[in-house]
Structure 1
Amino acid sequence: MHDVHEFLKTLAIVLGVAAITTVVFQRIRKPVILGYLIAGLIVGPHLPLPLNADPTTVRTLSELGVILLMFAIGLELNIAKLVRVAPTAGVIGVLQVALMMFAGVAVGRAFGWTQIESIFAGAAIAMSSTTIIAKVFEELKVAPALRELVYGVLIVEDILAILLLAVMTTVASGSGLDATTLAVTTGKLVAFLVGMVVVGLLIVPKLMRAVVKMGRPETTVVTSIGLCFGLAHACAAMHYSVALGAFVAGVLISESGEGHTVEHLIVPIRDMFAAIFFVSVGMLIDPALALQNWAAVLVLTVVVIVGKVIGVGLGGIVTGCGVRTSVQAGLGLSQIGEFSFIIVGLGATLEVTRPFLFPVAVAVSAITTLTTPALVKRSEAAAKYVDDRVPRRIGAFISLYSAWVERVRKAPRSSTTGARLRRLAVLLVLDAAALVALLVGGGMLRGRIEQAAAAYFGLGPRAAQLLVFTAAALVALPFVFGVVRLTRGIGLAVAGVDRAAARPIALVVQLGLLVAVATVSITAVEPFVPAGLGFLLLVVLVGLAVVAFVRTARQFEVEVQAGGGLVLDLLKSKLGGEGAARAAHAEGHAALGSAGANEAPALLLGLGAPRLLRIVEGSSAVGRTLGELNLRATTGAAVLAIVRDGQASMMPGPTDRLEVGDVVAAVGSEEALSSAEALFSATEPEPEPYADAAESGTRPRATTKDDPQPA
């Protein structure tokens, strides 16, 4: 009876204080997660207040919160959604997580933390908060395109976080970072996951569809949560994270097509236990430890904000999102949250990290949670500031490259090309995984191999180190060449029928994939090599990529400038000279036909034939710069040239201003060009035969699917 009384007392204290802090934070328009953390601080052992809750009871209840949070995240995912976000959010997510983990490990090593503490710190700052982002986006009414991109990246981050949790659990609970242990535990994890998913796909979807058909909500709730806890227990019995089992259970139920039904029913249960989880996080906060490590808190906060903007920005540019959208997405993702707490909490539970790391991570989360609304609110202005200061040549190239990616993405693709792309992607993942495994294994065994080489060949320490490094480079070289060859093949396959003409632009696809694979590889090997070596390699890699990108942009500009004469000839051929141009302007025509359309696509490097749009009197574009119009982010089209007084200005920059009578040569998908035409025209645009002929074979953009709903 005494235990029951203590349990009720703890539950009443936790939920009562959490209710008060939640109401207060709602009133002051701050994220309620901060309210839960403050409630945990109040009922925790580190403040001299008479409201101490039993930590053992709270910890048990918080474990249920973790399970239900991961279950809800899994319910939002399915294979079709993963395939849809993979080409854009997949690349961005992998690049951003790898870069942030690298930065976290580097910061940990700089502060003298242990190897495993640095890895946990890197994993913690790599994951953004779905809960915080969803709340901020809802309040600020963010544009659908930006919201869809950010939620796609969050999906990828969730998957990577689950995998990191599983791997770090097995490694940290074993004999440390030993190559043999890592290989064995990773193999067991993969086998267990494959078995659980395969068996689950045969049973769970059919079972859930049958249960939902019964029309009894309580039966659906009990069955789904029973599956959730059953798989969580299975993972715990195999010494894996319970979060992994709950996440897999959610994914399996989502595959039944009833994920949204189950999610709607479990929301109240999830929210209550999630609140207890965040309160338990607050109870572990030791303000004294956070103050003692204020320098680490400050540095990690700056790394989170700046690093995520850089990582997401680079990934967004490579995947064709453009400068502005990429910068806005990076600012929106510049915080850490629930997964960070779970990761550092795992380290504390397994006693592989010292107590200071948890309050440091929570402090960074609290600061970035407070800065996120301001950053999102000012993201459009910040993105415009960055875009306006990108060199004209580079900015124009990025805009046209984004239009090309959009056009390629929307174009119909043959089954042969699709199969080739899938095969190349699978081979790239396998080659990259083999390279990472080789680097990690070599890093772990480096000391033993150097000692053996020194004893066998009679070498000194430096000579043995050089020998081992050279041998490792030679072994890794075939995999490196394989990655280069496969990324080149993917770039050319994406270009499709235009690959001969679009080679300069397709090179950017290859550069982006190479940077992503190399960043992941360097991040994986960073904890096992001398300090500074990984940073030096990453700087050299990024430097080479930037040089190649700038050279590609220059080559592209030269080839496009050579097409200026054709664009002007097309215009004159249609209008019949300046007199006809003035007559057309007087009639108020906004869209123009073209002669010579057959030559345009080959000349314009896979961008397709341009649509010629006149700026008429009364148009909202008159007197505004291209930067102010933000045509690429608004419509998806890009400006190839502006024709004024018989002169064509190719690849104009964001500071170029439009005037009445200008003719804009725009490129992009059919829907993007139609949107640009509507923007430039004072009246409803008429059907455009030139664009129909030039863009034949393309299909209209599919309607935007429902955005992923946050957990």
Structure 2
Amino acid sequence: MAGDVVHYIQDLSVILATAAVTSMLSQRLNQPPVLGYVLAGVLIGPYVPGIEVARDSGLLTHDLSEFGVIMLMFSIGLEFNLRKIARIGPAAGLTALFEVALMMTLGFGCARLFGWDRIQSLFVAACISSSSTMIAAKAFEEHRQRADFVDLAFAILVFDDMLTILVFALLTAVASGSGVSAGDFAWSVGQLIAFLLALLALGLLVIPRFIRRAAAHERPETLLIASVAVCFIMTSLAAAAGYSIALGAFVAGMLVSESGEGHKLEPHVLPLRNIFGAVFFVSVGMQSDPLEIGAQWPLVLALTAVVLVGKIVGVSTGAFLTGNGLTNAVRAGLGCAQNGEFSFIIAAFAIAAGILDKSMFPVVVGVSLLTQISTPMLVRRSERVADALQRWSPGRLQTFVDFYESWIEQLRTAPRTVTVWSRVRRSVILLVLDAALLLVSAAGSSLIHWDVVKFFADRFHLPPSLVDVVWVTLSLVVVGLFFLGVLRHLRAVARTLARIVVPAHADDGPDLGAAPRRALTVALEVALSLAVSGPLVAIAQPFVPLSTILLVLGLIALVLLYDGWRSLANLQGHVHAGTELIVAMLAKQSHEGGDVDEDRSLPGARDLLPGFPDLAPLRLDPGDFAIGRTLADLQLRQRSGATVMAIHRHSTPDTSPAPYAPLAQGDVLALAGTPEAIARARQILERG
């Protein structure tokens, strides 16, 4: 027995030493240490000659890697609590919801093209749907990124982790190996929700108090032991209920965090997570055959392309539409474009359950390795990519981008007397209800389709093809009615929100805010369509043909794009006329000899220019950093989010400031944007 222990220790020393060396090499090449751990496993594993460990030591490593999963998910859960979720707000949650739904849709479609059945395709999609907080954090740290987009990316990754855990828990419940029906799906969803509610309700009553009592002794080891005990108990309950140990560990971390002692516990959990996490990634590498990765290179490259394109587009689009600005949205999207630890967990479960073949695991590892390598490069070039995208965007789109962030900020900071929720509550409830009924009717029709055809064909001696056509027609009519209801309520919500930001004209005069209100309405319709259609498509894929879904979404997209392009043209005309008015206001101030009041917006601008963002003048005084430099040199829009709408220079108005014309002393710039963006722009113009 003692000899066995020594044997295990010797093999573990080889494993950890190899992991340490490859991790250092990986970091030396500006890559995350996770890449080094996986490569260590590949080198030690049975598929590469050289360093070898005994088979029983390999099994021990695999068992220890389960502790890595538990500690990794527990530490992620410690970063959550209900207060933090409320503080992060709905914007990051909506972005993550759209991104995960888009990845599930793209992954499902790609897997179907490669010949997998529906349940297998769902697991393949789940394998590539999650991002890696660990890899993204390391990339941001290596490149010393501390900008606003980093906080945005982490907020999105937090919700991405939550949604991935829910998707994984749901898939473990509905997995049958032969497909999934609407009834099984609904029953599994109900069971999962009931289990989570029971676990959270009982846990909130007991665990926070227990952890606070342990912390009251002011001994770190007591707090650590109590917390790990809670983690193992919750993990055991999840496993006994038929769910993943990852779900139980995550819920345990979240409940411990509710005690308010999570910040004391994290430094003590971190070493355990690092050690067992390293063993987990080494175990992943040991199960990966490099030759198998090479043999399946078309699938590896296809899924890698889906990850990179889907995550960049999904996160960037969602983050922009929730009001985070184009630059921050694009940079966050580039920082979240990778696969990591969840991919291995989901793939290992699917293989153990007999859903996916063992050959799928090297594919998942290959996709993860490629995206881990690409993440630092994408983060490093993210600012240049965002700048290029803004620079080469059409003029109409640039105008809209300049205004949209300010509109969403006005919606967020609307006075409490406006009661935004009370004005959209009825439409939102009806929207959710119609969306749920649409999904139920589509799934139900698919579930009983052939039973209905057989019953009526046998009962009334009708041709099955005729019954089939009639049933499909009736189903389309019912689904179409609910679909029209979704569109109607969606448009009602968008119009109501747009009227809050740009109120309609009260008297009989011209409605000066019509153009910006229409542009905002279309943008909100797009945002709400993505928020609603993403989850609907992801859930409906097992029951509705993907071609039908894509056809409907394509038609909606064409209508919205056409309507949006027209509204952007009207907005650009509105902005051009408004800019001339701004120049006239600046000229009037200069002619009257008054000083430029930089502490407040241009007088009367809000009434005369409805829909415009906050406007504030700034005079360039002697010694200001911007004198002699061009707007292109300063990169004011990219760095601050504010836009120079007009410049007044020695009685010479400029309604279209040239990006390469040097700024001069005495120039008065009209800055547009949110108050925070204008403050940042002032600092750049005055101090650099």
Q: Distance in 2 between matches of 1:421 and 1:538?
A: 25
Alignment of 1:136-147 (within 5 A): 136-147=139-150
> Does the CA-based 8 Å contact 2:41-2:284 persist in structure 1?
yes
Corresponding residue number in structure 1 for 2:510: none
2:129 aligned to 123, 126, 130, which one?
126
Q: Distance in 2 between matches of 1:331 and 1:570?
A: 41
Q: Which moved more, 1:228-237 or 1:276-285?
A: 276-285
User: Unpaired segments of 5 or more residues in structure 1?
Assistant: 684-711
Corresponding residue number in structure 2 for 1:706: none
Q: Distance in 1 between matches of 2:49 and 2:161?
A: 37
Query: Which string of whole-angstrom CA distances, capped at 9 and with x for unpartnered residues, describes residues 608-644 of structure 1?
Result: 5521223456544456555554434433433444445
Q: Which moved more, 1:375-384 or 1:44-53?
A: 44-53
Is 1:251 paired with 2:254?
Answer: yes
Q: Distance in 2 between matches of 1:481 and 1:255?
A: 40
Corresponding residue number in structure 1 for 2:53: 51
Give the direction of change, closer, same or farther, for the CA distance of 1:12–1:674 in structure 2 (3 Å limit).
closer
Corresponding residue number in structure 1 for 2:220: 217
Query: Which string of whole-angstrom CA distances, capped at 9 and with x for unpartnered residues, describes residues 157-209 of structure 1?
Result: 00101101100101115764122222212111111111111111122122222
Q: Distance in 2 between matches of 1:447 and 1:603?
A: 63
2:313 aligned to 307, 310, 319, which one?
310
2:671 aligned to 651, 666, 682, which one?
666
Alignment of 1:511-550 (within 5 A): 511-550=526-565
Is 1:84 paired with 2:87?
Answer: yes
Query: Which string of whole-angstrom CA distances, capped at 9 and with x for unpartnered residues, describes residues 573-631 of structure 1?
Result: 32226xx59xx7xxxx6849777x34x22443344552122345654445655555443
Corresponding residue number in structure 1 for 2:586: 571
The residue type paired with residue 565 of structure 2 is: V
Is 1:396 paired with 2:399?
Answer: yes
Q: Distance in 1 between matches of 2:124 and 2:633?
A: 40
Q: Distance in 2 between matches of 1:27 and 1:546?
A: 46
Corresponding residue number in structure 2 for 1:161: 164
1:553 Cα deviation after fit: 1.6
1:517 Cα deviation after fit: 1.2
Give the direction of change, closer, same or farther, for the CA distance of 1:497–1:405 in structure 2 (3 Å limit).
closer
The residue type paired with residue 550 of structure 1 is: W
Q: Which moved more, 1:357-366 or 1:534-543?
A: 534-543
Give the direction of change, closer, same or farther, for the CA distance of 1:310–1:462 in structure 2 (3 Å limit).
farther
Corresponding residue number in structure 2 for 1:37: 38
Give the direction of change, closer, same or farther, for the CA distance of 1:614–1:277 in structure 2 (3 Å limit).
same
Give the direction of change, closer, same or farther, for the CA distance of 1:642–1:341 in structure 2 (3 Å limit).
farther
Corresponding residue number in structure 2 for 1:689: none
Q: Which moved more, 1:3-12 or 1:150-159?
A: 3-12
> Does the CA-based 8 Å contact 1:613-1:677 persist in structure 2?
yes
Is 1:634 paired with 2:669?
Answer: no
Alignment of 1:111-122 (within 5 A): 111-122=114-125
Alignment of 1:347-362 (within 5 A): 347-362=350-365
1:286 Cα deviation after fit: 2.0
Superposition TM-score, scaled by structure 1 size: 0.86
SS at 2:541's partner residue?
helix
> Does the CA-based 8 Å contact 2:126-2:168 persist in structure 1?
no
Alignment of 1:135-284 (within 5 A): 135-173=138-176, 176-284=179-287
Q: Distance in 1 between matches of 2:107 and 2:490?
A: 30
Give the direction of change, closer, same or farther, for the CA distance of 1:63–1:483 in structure 2 (3 Å limit).
farther
Is 1:605 paired with 2:610?
Answer: yes
Corresponding residue number in structure 2 for 1:408: 411
1:15 Cα deviation after fit: 2.6
The residue type paired with residue 259 of structure 2 is: S
Corresponding residue number in structure 1 for 2:507: none
1:503 aligned to 504, 517, 520, which one?
517
Query: Which string of whole-angstrom CA distances, capped at 9 and with x for unpartnered residues, describes residues 11-30 of structure 1?
Result: 34433332332233334432
Q: Which moved more, 1:262-271 or 1:481-490?
A: 481-490
Identity of aligned residues (%): 38
Corresponding residue number in structure 1 for 2:342: 339
The residue type paired with residue 680 of structure 1 is: L
Q: Distance in 2 between matches of 1:593 and 1:352?
A: 63
Is 1:376 paired with 2:390?
Answer: no
Q: Distance in 1 between matches of 2:542 and 2:357?
A: 18
SS at 2:351's partner residue?
helix
> Does the CA-based 8 Å contact 2:38-2:284 persist in structure 1?
yes
1:487 Cα deviation after fit: 6.1
> Does the CA-based 8 Å contact 1:322-1:632 persist in structure 2?
no
The residue type paired with residue 613 of structure 1 is: L
Give the direction of change, closer, same or farther, for the CA distance of 1:84–1:481 in structure 2 (3 Å limit).
farther
Give the direction of change, closer, same or farther, for the CA distance of 1:10–1:647 in structure 2 (3 Å limit).
same
SS at 2:89's partner residue?
helix
Give the direction of change, closer, same or farther, for the CA distance of 1:466–1:538 in structure 2 (3 Å limit).
farther
> Does the CA-based 8 Å contact 1:105-1:527 persist in structure 2?
no
The residue type paired with residue 478 of structure 1 is: F
Corresponding residue number in structure 2 for 1:680: 685
1:495 Cα deviation after fit: 5.7
Query: Which string of whole-angstrom CA distances, capped at 9 and with x for unpartnered residues, describes residues 205-230 of structure 1?
Result: 22222221210111100111111110
Give the direction of change, closer, same or farther, for the CA distance of 1:299–1:556 in structure 2 (3 Å limit).
same
Q: Which moved more, 1:230-239 or 1:201-210?
A: 201-210
Q: Distance in 1 between matches of 2:564 and 2:292?
A: 45
Give the direction of change, closer, same or farther, for the CA distance of 1:513–1:163 in structure 2 (3 Å limit).
same
Give the direction of change, closer, same or farther, for the CA distance of 1:345–1:566 in structure 2 (3 Å limit).
same
Q: Distance in 1 between matches of 2:194 and 2:184?
A: 15
Give the direction of change, closer, same or farther, for the CA distance of 1:386–1:314 in structure 2 (3 Å limit).
same
Give the direction of change, closer, same or farther, for the CA distance of 1:318–1:548 in structure 2 (3 Å limit).
farther
User: Unpaired segments of 5 or more residues in structure 2?
Assistant: 505-512
Tell me how many residue pairs correspond in the alignment: 672
The residue type paired with residue 567 of structure 2 is: T
Q: Distance in 1 between matches of 2:232 and 2:217?
A: 22
Give the direction of change, closer, same or farther, for the CA distance of 1:592–1:272 in structure 2 (3 Å limit).
closer
Query: Which string of whole-angstrom CA distances, capped at 9 and with x for unpartnered residues, describes residues 360-410 of structure 1?
Result: 111011011111111111111111111111101111111111122234334
Superposition TM-score, scaled by structure 2 size: 0.89
1:659 Cα deviation after fit: 3.1
Give the direction of change, closer, same or farther, for the CA distance of 1:563–1:456 in structure 2 (3 Å limit).
farther
1:341 Cα deviation after fit: 1.2
> Does the CA-based 8 Å contact 1:39-1:279 persist in structure 2?
yes
Q: Distance in 1 between matches of 2:658 and 2:492?
A: 31
1:525 Cα deviation after fit: 2.2
Give the direction of change, closer, same or farther, for the CA distance of 1:424–1:188 in structure 2 (3 Å limit).
same
Query: Which string of whole-angstrom CA distances, capped at 9 and with x for unpartnered residues, describes residues 275-328 of structure 1?
Result: 111111112212232222111111222222222221122112211222222221
Q: Distance in 1 between matches of 2:501 and 2:405?
A: 18
Give the direction of change, closer, same or farther, for the CA distance of 1:378–1:130 in structure 2 (3 Å limit).
same
Q: Which moved more, 1:410-419 or 1:669-678?
A: 410-419
> Does the CA-based 8 Å contact 2:441-2:475 persist in structure 1?
no
The residue type paired with residue 308 of structure 1 is: K
The residue type paired with residue 53 of structure 2 is: L
Give the direction of change, closer, same or farther, for the CA distance of 1:657–1:121 in structure 2 (3 Å limit).
farther
Q: Which moved more, 1:115-124 or 1:411-420?
A: 411-420
> Does the CA-based 8 Å contact 1:36-1:282 persist in structure 2?
yes
SS at 1:562's partner residue?
helix
> Does the CA-based 8 Å contact 2:397-2:568 persist in structure 1?
yes
The residue type paired with residue 24 of structure 2 is: V
1:363 aligned to 363, 366, 390, which one?
366
Give the direction of change, closer, same or farther, for the CA distance of 1:615–1:654 in structure 2 (3 Å limit).
same
